[in-house]
Structure 1
């Protein structure tokens, strides 16, 4: 016979644990929207109402609603575990999202739901739970809550309302309705929530025209982190990686340089967390963004400015999300060991492409505004026309132009330099879409061959003839395109 003790958790301690899971307000509301989508809602509304210490937030939907038994189950902590079979639209997993998200933001959670015009209500009041040390799920809301529910359910015959009262940080005697600074902070949270929902449900809104989400009455427009419709995005071929009996789809994107975007496009593409914060992997499950802009802890991958335009979409099957370590908040992902090598390879390749085109963009800027000693060409756009001019201040060009003897070796060196440094990248950036297959001067980075050394030697002689010291001449040569990417006597 089994000998055991029943070690049930203390309700107050359990509430404290659920309240401290680390949800942000936008992430907590996204969890509620998940439930609305799972209920086949066609419309979801998020309300923020400032009333000082009695301010409230609500998420309402016109989904199928719940029966009495389903409502009680939904309000029970972890009533459904991760292994529960779920519908194709269900975005939940642990069965604690509604409660943990709500308890992290409010001391009072009320859910009202209807399937046939009759509204059923249950309330968690954490003051009651802590006072009685029991999970007392209240069946009747108080007068103030009932008045709010009446406004939110008016005329609706089916759907669900989730109402938060006694909001964390606002339910305090020191918070007055007339406090303008706190009021602005409250509505700033509403704006952050709108941006977060646009990011999290951006793909869902794009692919499911039947559902609309509104925040404070404004319809949400989804945010596409990959600028899919922009002609200058470099879209890499997708890869399908096997994972058990299913597969994971991975597709990389290199976004255009800021120069290729209007100010509005650039600000939009930066996303809620800015360019640096949005680089990396984007993990989707059933078109819901689970993780946005993260290198997944893969070895040696760090956020750096030169990788800002590298973004990679990963689509994971909901049936395999346990393999990805998706946490309760849907804010953390740990890739399966079997896929880490593939993801690292894809990430490094994408980062390399982003860095290379970023470097090319920097060179283009230098062509227009940099040191006249560095480039043999000047590229400008004036009144909509692209002007390509030989840089007459370049030491080799200047030497040939002024040398009446026209030393044949000097002329040949100049011609080879001009042939090898035609500013193809600049022309592409200004005129066409970005590309990674542009020719590289003298064969690209690496040791200088004999011909490269010959051209560099002539430039070096010209610099010495102009009074530069050998050290200064090598320094100038080392900063000059294309020798700045080659190894030779000037940098060894």
Structure 2
């Protein structure tokens, strides 16, 4: 039925979108948000196992696969899944929302998207989208089952199932050549992915509703590395609150609807992954934590209800009931945050605990969180600054050091490298170059052959913490030189004993 036209309208036209729209798909996706979008589809398919595989050739990442043991799709369902912006009724428990997630996530990092699936283990369905073709006519290739049967069955067998779905990215945009090498990009990407997936799915992971593993498949060797399991990271996972009567529930009223906001004041001087989300200073993540079906959609941020401030670092407020705010918010397509309406913003500003005693307001909550932090600073012991870590230490370790310990600003960063030196030495220090050198002779043994710019992370971190203080000041005195000789002698003896043990001998 034609809708009624306004008085100034001659007619209504339906204008189909130009296929060139695909060029902008996924522009704001990070690797972590894109992969999470694929995992959302697995969750909607009732999967209990998800394996994310980076594929490498010549040591460089060239592809990515996400396999799950969900209920799979039939021919009609996979066609709908590959359709751009398909309009369907999403159930209240679904993670999907816009109908573009699979395509936007995939084309953000690859030019070719392939999907294999089966609902019963007998009827196999495969589809492939090429970015170039989709930009012209939305064309989708239907794949012959025999062309992918072995690959699909092998993936599902590793998950212990005969049903499920495999999503594969090829012609990826992953870096092939970097200053530090593709292996370091891959290590850092896996670290970021583990942190992101562990955070946004922490409830599902902790309750064992789903298990997610990361692995690397070397195409040249036809070998898979050991899978790395994603662990839950609860942003409120602290043993106790900083204040006895917290967390407290505030109620924001919008007309006939009520939105419950659970307000937490996390302990001052907190550390660990629950505080230092993504390995960064936890103060960056003050604000609202918004869940939809136990999937975390927003990690901190005040959504213009108030402003971020260093004194509010301990304030984290949870909104669990997404249905209560669904009509008052807009979700980012990448599911990386929420936009509040003015109505919801004002309702939270006016929120209170209700008639209970003692009553609390949202403003009072913020003031309480600020007071706890200010008081803790008066009692806090000052941590002595250290040298800034640089090349040689893994990026995740450098972020943690910067978040936990003040950095000496009046001197340059400190590197850790390997180089050849006599076997009886373990390390050498170069004051002018501000570099700690480790003995190349022991590198293979200490890294298990997996070398790279950021290899041997535990060893390098311990050596860094041991010697960084020697790089203060203008020169080394006799006492400093004696310490260097002493530590080198002890560590040299230790590494030689370690080498003997590993070679099957006795010390």
Closer/same/farther in 2, CA of residues 365 and 194 from structure 1, 3 Å limit: closer
| Unmatched 5+ stretches in structure 1 | 370-492
Report if aligned partners of 1:276, 1:303 keep a CA contact under 8 Å in 2: no
Distance 1:69 1:367 in 2: 63
In the other structure, the counterpart of 2:189 is 189
1:149 Cα shift? 4.5
Distance 1:34 1:233 in 2: 36
In the other structure, the counterpart of 2:169 is 164
2:98 to 94, 97, 101: 94
Closer/same/farther in 2, CA of residues 246 and 159 from structure 1, 3 Å limit: farther
Q: Does 1:37 align with 2:43?
A: yes
Distance 1:352 1:134 in 2: 57
* Larger of the two Rg values belongs to structure: 1
Distance 1:3 1:341 in 2: 40
1:239 Cα shift? 2.7
1:95-174 correspondence runs (5 A) = 95-117=99-121, 118-130=123-135, 133-140=136-143, 149=152, 151-154=154-157, 156-170=161-175
Closer/same/farther in 2, CA of residues 141 and 102 from structure 1, 3 Å limit: farther
Q: Any idea what the Cα deviations from partners look like across 1:439-483, whole Å, max 9, x if unmatched?
A: xxxxxxxxxxxxxxxxxxxxxxxxxxxxxxxxxxxxxxxxxxxxx
Report if aligned partners of 1:240, 1:250 keep a CA contact under 8 Å in 2: yes
TM-score, normalised by the number of residues in structure 2: 0.62
1:39 Cα shift? 0.9
Q: Per the alignment, in what secondary structure is the counterpart of residue 41 of structure 2?
A: helix
Q: Does 1:215 align with 2:214?
A: yes
Q: Does 1:351 align with 2:362?
A: no
In the other structure, the counterpart of 1:293 is 300
1:334-483 correspondence runs (5 A) = 334-344=339-349, 347-365=362-380
Q: Per the alignment, in what secondary structure is the counterpart of residue 294 of structure 1?
A: coil
Report if aligned partners of 2:125, 2:145 keep a CA contact under 8 Å in 1: no
In the other structure, the counterpart of 1:257 is 268
C-alpha RMSD of the superposition: 3.1
Q: Per the alignment, in what secondary structure is the counterpart of residue 111 of structure 2?
A: strand
1:58 Cα shift? 1.5
1:286 Cα shift? 1.2
Q: Any idea what the Cα deviations from partners look like across 1:67-112, whole Å, max 9, x if unmatched?
A: 110000011011125xx2x334311111111111111111111111
Distance 2:259 2:50 in 1: 30
1:304 Cα shift? 2.3
Report if aligned partners of 1:122, 1:141 keep a CA contact under 8 Å in 2: no
Q: Per the alignment, in what secondary structure is the counterpart of residue 339 of structure 2?
A: coil
Distance 2:338 2:116 in 1: 32
Q: Per the alignment, in what secondary structure is the counterpart of residue 143 of structure 2?
A: coil
Q: Structure 1 segments of 4 or more deviating over 6 A?
A: 141-147, 366-369
Distance 2:63 2:382 in 1: 56
1:215-234 correspondence runs (5 A) = 215-216=214-215, 217-230=227-240, 232=242
| Unmatched 5+ stretches in structure 2 | 3-9, 216-226, 351-360, 385-507
